[in-house]
Amino acid sequence: MTNSNSRKPLRRIACPQCGELGLQKIIYGMPSDDFNFDKYIVGGCIVSEANVGCPQCEWCGTRNELEQN
Residue 64 lies in a domain: yes
Residue 63 lies in a domain: yes
Per-residue pLDDT of 18-42, as tens digits, reads 999 999 999 999 999 999 999 999 9
Q: Which structural domain range is residue 61 located in?
A: 8-29+48-69
Residue 56 lies in a domain: yes
Provide the strand spans (E) within the chain. Answer: 24-27, 40-42, 52-53, 60-61
Per-residue pLDDT of 42-69, as tens digits, reads 999 999 999 999 999 999 999 998 876 5
Residue 16 lies in a domain: yes
Residue 42 lies in a domain: no
* Region at 29 (left for phi over 0; alpha for psi -120 to 50; beta for the rest): left
Residue 62 lies in a domain: yes
**What predicted TM-score, i.e. pTM, was given to this entire model?**
0.82
Residues found in the chain: 69
Residue 1 lies in a domain: no
Residue 34 lies in a domain: no
Tell me how many domains the chain contains: 1
